């Protein structure tokens, strides 16, 4: 099975320092929904792996997060794509959970549920924590320069072998020409 794991905020949709707290605040990055469609049509399963500490902070609840993900799923479908699953960490940044990126727990759970080896899986994100989680889990890290991507690249702590691309559309073009 071909599988790609995508971070959400800053990779698929515009990030916000105020958090995405409702479906109305979801703003897809130009070309990202078409990129998801391109990957899906090329036979890739697409999974979103996202830290959502806004739940722990009381900014929104799980039902609202599900509504946000439903809206993203509908938008991807309108572009001809699909998202096969959403995985999220609801814990605060200072928690000691294993599921919050940069720890590899969420990615390992995806691998377990989809019965795949992460060595063949790309993890695409805009933040250092996405790349570190990919490296720790044995996945292939990909940095997009959207969201926090430019800053992440400038800090120069990319794991060895990190692929750097302008955005999700460029990654999809590369993987599924």
| Residue 36 · residue 79 · CB < 8 Å | yes
Q: Which of 9, 15, 132, 167 is catalytic?
A: 9
Other CB atoms within a 10 A radius of the CB of residue 79 amount to 18
Residue 177 scores a pLDDT above 90: no
Q: Which long-range contacts (CB under 8 A, 24 or more apart) does 94-103 make?
A: 95/56, 100/51, 100/53, 101/7, 101/49, 101/51, 101/125, 101/127, 101/129, 101/130, 101/132, 101/133, 102/128, 102/129, 102/130, 102/132, 102/133, 102/136, 103/133, 103/136
Q: Which CATH superfamily does the domain covering 2-175 fall into?
A: HAD superfamily/HAD-like (3.40.50.1000)
Q: Are 48 and 8 in contact (CB under 8 A)?
A: yes
The string of pLDDT tens digits covering residues 88-130 is 999 998 888 999 999 999 999 999 999 999 999 999 999 999 9
- Condensed to tens digits (0 to 9), the pLDDT of residues 35-92 reads 999 999 999 999 999 999 999 999 999 999 999 999 999 999 999 999 999 999 999 9
* List 7, 15, 130, 132, catalytic entry: 7
9 is catalytic: yes
**Active-site residue flag, 61:** no
Task: State yes or no: pLDDT of 147 exceeds 90.
Answer: yes
What are the extents of the domains in the chain? 2-175
Is the CB of residue 89 less than 8 Å from the CB of residue 97? yes
């Amino acid at each position: 099975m071909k599988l790609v794991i995508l971070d959400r905020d800053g990779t698929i949709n515009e990030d916000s320092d105020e958090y995405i707290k409702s479906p109305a605040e979801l703003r897809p990055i130009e070309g990202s929904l078409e990129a998801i469609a391109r990957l899906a049509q090329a036979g890739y399963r697409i999974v979103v792996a996202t830290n959502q500490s806004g739940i722990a902070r009381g900014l929104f609840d799980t039902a609202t997060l599900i509504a946000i993900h439903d809206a993203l799923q509908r938008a991807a479908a309108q572009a001809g794509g699909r998202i096969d699953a959403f995985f999220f960490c609801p814990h605060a940044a200072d928690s000691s959970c294993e599921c919050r990126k940069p720890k590899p727990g969420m990615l390992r759970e995806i691998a377990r549920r989809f019965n795949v080896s992460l060595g063949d899986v790309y993890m695409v994100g805009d933040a250092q924590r996405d790349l570190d989680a990919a490296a720790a889990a044995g996945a292939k890290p990909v940095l997009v320069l959207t969201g926090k991507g430019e800053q992440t690249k400038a800090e120069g702590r990319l794991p060895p072998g990190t692929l750097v691309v302008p955005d999700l559309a460029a990654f999809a073009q590369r993987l599924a020409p």
